[in-house]
Amino acid sequence: MVYMEENRFSDKPLHSAKGGVDMGNTILFVDDEAVILKALQAVFSREGFQTLTALSGEDAIKILSREDVDVVVSDERMPGISGIELLSMVKEKYPDKIRIVLTAYAELNTILSAINQVEAHRLIIKPYKNEDFVQTVRTLLERKKTCQEKENALKRAEREAAFAFQAAKIMCNRQLSEHEKYTQIVDILKNYIRASTLSLMLLNPERNEIVVKAATNKKIVGLRRPLSDHSISSWVAREGRAYLCNGTVDQDQPSAFVPHDQTLTRYQTKAFLCIPVKDDTRTVGVFNVTDHEEGTISSSTEKTVSHLMRWVGAMIQTASSSGSG
């Protein structure tokens, strides 16, 4: 039996798809009845989802091997591989996929299999309302997105803690010179920032300048720039604000932060990130990132560098306090 509402093929969307998690998400529908697949595809396509269909579990497995799918929706009773068997395979091979079982038979065995064998995220009984089905998928995707964000935040925190531990060991090693300490810190930063050119510049308040203390390019170590200089690094040190540039700088842009008409130097017109290094109360230096592996520097990289520089700033403050004591 085919279950369809009267307005299933209406052109009017059930919900607006603007800005939702469904924009770009892909759903794979699996059913041995082509008319049901066509109906489901019509409903979810109108809502902004990308849709794929398979007439059997065997076809679904092939599609999953070559396509990036977020949600797998499978009918339970199909010839060959059943829906429960298919989604069990999906759980084992693609555990991050959302799994939904469709069935017209609310039998106890089917329900238990969906829970225990498939660990299905939902069991939907036919007939269903289109709007409820769409909202169910959206809710599951929202939860998945929230879980991923929490997992990513936890991983970032773990990476930051690992960096802080490594950096603290370096800064507390009295057998290392100041230059050796900062060089080793830049070396371990390469494991967190996928860029080939990094440099750490620290503020010398007595001479009103910033000095390169460590860099992947050893030739620039010791380079000094007055805070009044027209470079981006000097501006960041003065203002205490980050500067991110991807590609060629508009020549009108420099006037926004430096009072000069000179053309920016070549290295500053490539992908370039300059982050202030701060202790609790003030800017103590700047950290520069260029030649990123991806060609451009993302806001995610900027956030990562900013977080790591908070640890560097705190350690510089601690080292300065110990030295003055």
Q: What is the DSSP string of 62-105?
A: HHHHHS--SEEEEES--SSS-HHHHHHHHHHH-TTSEEEEEES-
DSSP-derived 3-state class of residue 291: strand
Q: Residue 103's pLDDT is what? A: 84
Q: Residue 97's pLDDT is what? A: 93
Q: Residue 287's pLDDT is what? A: 92
DSSP-derived 3-state class of residue 19: coil
Claim to verify: residue 81 and residue 187 sit in the same structural domain: no
Q: Residue 209's pLDDT is what? A: 93
Q: What is the CATH number of the domain that holds 225?
A: 3.30.450.40
Residue 66 lies in a domain: yes
Claim to verify: residue 246 and residue 298 sit in the same structural domain: yes
Q: Residue 172's pLDDT is what? A: 85
Task: Return all residues near 21 (Cβ < 8 A) that are at least 6 apart.
Answer: 138, 141, 142, 145
Residue 84 lies in a domain: yes
Q: Residue 135's pLDDT is what? A: 94
Claim to verify: residue 139 and residue 220 sit in the same structural domain: no
Q: How many CB atoms lie within 10 A of CB 253?
A: 11
Claim to verify: residue 54 and residue 105 sit in the same structural domain: yes
Residue 265 lies in a domain: yes
Claim to verify: residue 135 and residue 237 sit in the same structural domain: no
DSSP assignment string, 209-273: EEEEEEESSGGGTT-EEETTSSSHHHHHHHH---EEE-SSPPTTGGGGTSS--PPPPGGGGSSEE
Question: Structurally, how many domains does the chain consist of?
Answer: 2
Claim to verify: residue 177 and residue 320 sit in the same structural domain: yes
Residue 159 lies in a domain: no
Tokens representing 308? 């790591």
Residue 108 lies in a domain: yes
Report, as ranges of residue numbers, the positions in the chain whose pLDDT lies below 70: 1-23, 106-114, 116-117, 247-270, 291-295, 319-325
Q: Residue 267's pLDDT is what? A: 47
Q: Which of 276, 273, 277 is nearest to 302 (CA)?
A: 273
- pTM of this prediction? 0.60
Residue 166 lies in a domain: no
What is the Cα–Cα distance from 43 to 13, expressed in whole angstroms? 8
> What distances in angstroms separate CA 12 from CA 3, 109, 171, 175, one per listed residue?
19, 38, 64, 72
Q: What is the CATH number of the domain that holds 129?
A: 3.40.50.2300
Please, what's the b/e burial string for 76-107 (b: 16 or more CB within 10 A of its CB; e: otherwise)? bebeebbbbbbbbbbbeeeeebbbbbbbeeee
What is the Cα–Cα distance from 179 to 222, expressed in whole angstroms? 10
**Range of the structural domain that residue 125 is part of:** 26-147
